[in-house]
Structure 1
Amino acid sequence: MRTRTLASSLAAAGALALGPGVLLSRMLHRAGFDPATDRLPEPYTVRVTAIAPGRLTLRPAPGAPPNAHLEPGRYLLDAARGQASLGPILETNGVVAIRAYHHLLGSLRAGDLARLDPFAYPGDPRQAHGLAFEEVQIHAPLGSFPAWYIPGQRDTWAIMVHGKGANRRETLRLLPLLTAVGFPALAITYRNDEGCPPAPGGRYTYGRDEYEELEAAIQFALGLGAQRILLVGYSMGGAICLSLMERSDLAPRVAGLILDAPMLDLRSTIAHGARQRRIPVRYLAISNRIAARRYRFDWDDFDYRRTAIDLQVPVLLFHGDADPVVPVATSDSLAAARPDIVRYVRVPAAGHVRSWNVDPEGYADAVQHYLAALA
């Protein structure tokens, strides 16, 4: 009787431990691996309460985080009826914030709901910066993938890779700094992007497979006369760049990397997210195993820390110390391990891929110095 009771207790304890693990593995798949989640519309987080010449007053939208209107830095204010360039906070009492403002498109009115778009610029290279560009097709094993091609005079090309759930507009903040000094540039797409071929399994693989589209983009550039390649990667785009450095025969063509909040290790990123949501990290030991078995992947395929440490080309690394998505500690470790090749710009108060937004002048200065040395 005692043995049966003990067995029953152990079974019940196992079920209690397994239950959160199963739930977390499903949450992980939905938030981390399912592209459909990233295609849901971004919610409106702020409400416009007043508009004056050069000044716009915001407060949080109903149900939004209470500090949504206090995000530091520069953004694109995106509303249903219009868009504006939104600058730093000029005044705030916490309840409302008055920010620098420049009208761009449509009409904005007091009462409108809007969102702060960190990509900062609307449209495409021409609309954002007046840059001539072509929409080209990159032919990869899975099919054709659109890319923006901005011509330049140099034989080193910049190939720019956006992050998970983002799009090519993510590159618009950096793009004019590259073209100003003559770098031709490609802002590419990859599998599971909206309008692009899906992955065979329909899931993100954090660079393990997406690097094939980047490899095809390098081949495209080489076919048009490129001699060297500068890789630019944001968040998961950084993982894709490092996956190429690990897996591709074209890696020797890469002359340098600019990485912005790169996802260097998915396990660390998942643990960081759990801590942000106050989920006990001990549950991850179970949920990670369940997820790997259910969705048929190996966590080691998404760990690029050793690849990054073993790089032999110069790296410009940006990361905000308030990043809620990718732990800044992973970039700290890379910078500490390779001070000989890594120039590290750790930006106070910057969230995920927000280093430019918080300090655009400092960001530009770091990029310009890096590009001068790369040339």
Structure 2
Amino acid sequence: MRTRTLAASVAAAGALALAPGFALARLLHRAGFDPAADRLPAPFSVRITAIAPGRVTLRRGTEGLPGAHLEPGHYLLEAARGLARLGPVRETNGVVAIRDFEPLSGDIRPGDFARLDPFAFPGDPREAHGIAFEEVAIPAPLGEFPAWYIPGSRDTGAVMVHAKGANRRETLRLLPLLVEAGFPALAITYRNDDGCPPSPHGRYSYGRDEYEELEAAARWALDRGARRLLLVGYSMGGAIALSFIERSDLAHRAAAFILDAPMLDFASCVAHGARQRRIPLRYLAVSNRIAARRYGFRWDDFDHRRTALDLQAPVLLFHGDADPVIPVELSDALAAARPDIVRYVRTPGAGHIRSWNVDPEGYADAVRDFLRTLD
């Protein structure tokens, strides 16, 4: 009887010790691997309290993270009945913020709830910038994937890869600069995007598998006259670009990179998130093993730091020092290790993929200077 009681006590203690690991593994799956979580619409996190010519007053709404109305930079303000351009904070007392404001469409009124869209421009290249484009379908192993294509005069084609849970609109901040410089541009989609073929296992794989869609897009661009490739990657899109370099037979065609807050190592991002949530990092030693076993991956598959360090083509690298998703230290380390190829723009006060939003003029200047080196 005593032996059975002791064994039961040990088993219960073991289960109790593992409980945080299982809970964190489930949280990791929902936040990091499940595309369905990214398809939920962003909450209307701010409330419009007053509108005056060229100005809008915002305060915290009833949903979403506090302080969204104080986010620095330029955004698209999306309300239920209209859209507007939202500029920097001009005045604030920490409770309300007065910001630059330019109505675009619809009827936005005081009392409406709204959200800040970091992609900053609505619709597609034509609606956002008056840029003519073609809607094309890229054939890939899992099926056809839609893309925007804008022809250009250069023989280097730009292929643009958005972040996890985002869409092609993310590229609209950079796209006019590529078109201005004459680069053919292809803004692609990939597995698990809304309306696209899903991955067989239904989860993100941080470039390990998604590189196939980039490879298919690269082949499509090369078949239409491009001789070299400029790969543009946002967050997980950067991981996809690096996985392409690791795995694709077309990797030698990559002549340059523009990477914005690239996801160089997913395990570091998980630890970064745990620190912000005040979760003891010792729990990750258990939860990361449980997640890898339960969801069938290796953490090494999501570590692209070695590939980034071994690049032989020029890189323009952006990262905000207030990034809550991907630790800026990953980009710091890459820039410090490879100053021979990396031009690094470390943006003060910018959150995740917000370097353009915080400083669009500085962003544009850096991109133009970099593109001139590719002549």
TM (norm. structure 1) is 0.98
Identity %: 76
Q: Which residue of 2 aligns with 1:273?
A: 273
Give, in whole Å, the separation in 2 of the partners of 1:57 and 1:326: 31
Task: Summarize the alignment of residues 171-182 of structure 1 with structure 2, pairs less than 5 Å apart.
Answer: 171-182=171-182
Equivalent position SS for 2:273:
helix
Q: In structure 2, what is the Cα distance between the partners aligned to 1:25 and 1:91?
A: 42
**Separation in structure 2 between the aligned mates of residue 359 and residue 102 of structure 1, nearest angstrom:** 18
- 4+ residue runs of structure 1 moved beyond 6 angstroms? 1-6
Instruction: Classify the secondary structure of the residue corresponding to 1:41.
Output: coil
Letter matched to residue 286 of structure 1: V
- Where 1:99 maps in the other structure, the secondary structure is strand
Change (3 A) 1:110 1:297: same
Structure 2 counterpart of 1:359, which letter? D
Residue 244 of structure 1 aligns to a residue whose secondary structure is helix
| Code of the aligned partner of 1:12 | A
Paired AA for residue 236 in structure 1: M
> In the TM superposition, what whole-angstrom CA distance separates every residue of 1:212-237 from its partner, at most 9, and x where no partner exists?
00000010001110011000000000
User: What is the aligned partner in structure 2 of residue 115 from structure 1?
Assistant: 115
Matched to 2:95, the amino acid is V
Query: How far, CA to CA, are the matches of 1:259 and 1:106 in structure 2?
Result: 35
What is the aligned partner in structure 1 of residue 144 from structure 2?
A: 144
Residue by residue over 1:64-88, the C-alpha shift from the partner in whole angstroms, topping out at 9 and shown as x without a partner, is 4331110000000001100000001
Tell me if 1:126 matches 2:130: no
* Residue-by-residue CA offset, 1:43-64 (whole Å, 9 max, x unaligned): 0110001111111110010244
CA distance in 2, matches of 1:289, 1:89: 44
- Confirm or deny: 8 A CA contact 1:17 1:283 kept in the other structure: no
State the 1:7 CA deviation. Answer: 5.2
Q: Does 1:368 align with 2:368?
A: yes
SS in 2 for 1:160: strand
Give the Cα separation in 2 of the matches to 1:2 and 1:374.
76
The number of aligned residues is 375
Instruction: State the AA in 2 paired with 1:305.
Output: R
SS in 2 for 1:201: coil
CA distance in structure 2 between the aligned counterparts of 1:14 and 1:129, rounded to whole angstroms? 59
Task: Determine the C-alpha separation between the residues in 1 that align with 2:6 and 2:236.
Answer: 46
Q: Distance in 2 between matches of 1:69 and 1:351?
A: 14
* Deviations, residues 199-220 of structure 1 (Å, cap 9, x unaligned): 0111101000000000000100
1:77 counterpart residue number: 77
Partners of 2:334 and 2:3 in 1: how far apart?
52
Alpha-carbon distance between aligned partners in 1 of 2:264 and 2:177, rounded to the nearest angstrom: 25
Give the C-alpha shift of residue 15 in structure 1: 1.6
CA distance in 1, matches of 2:64, 2:340: 43
In the other structure, the counterpart of 2:33 is 33
CA separation of 1:189 and 1:252: change in aligned 2, threshold 3 A: same
Q: Deviations over 1:306-357 (max 9, x none)?
A: 0000000000100001000011111111111111111111101100000000
Are the aligned partners of 1:44 and 1:113 in contact in 2 as well (CA < 8 Å)? yes
Aligned residue for 2:333? 333
Alignment partners' CA distance in 1, 2:2 and 2:227: 75
Unaligned stretches of 5+ residues in structure 2: none
Report matched runs for 1:81-96 at 5 Å.
81-96=81-96
SS at match of 1:256: strand
Q: 1:168 to 1:363 in 2, by over 3 A?
A: same
Match of 1:24 in 2: 24
Counterparts of 2:2 and 2:298, CA distance in 1: 41
Q: Counterpart amino acid of 1:330?
A: L
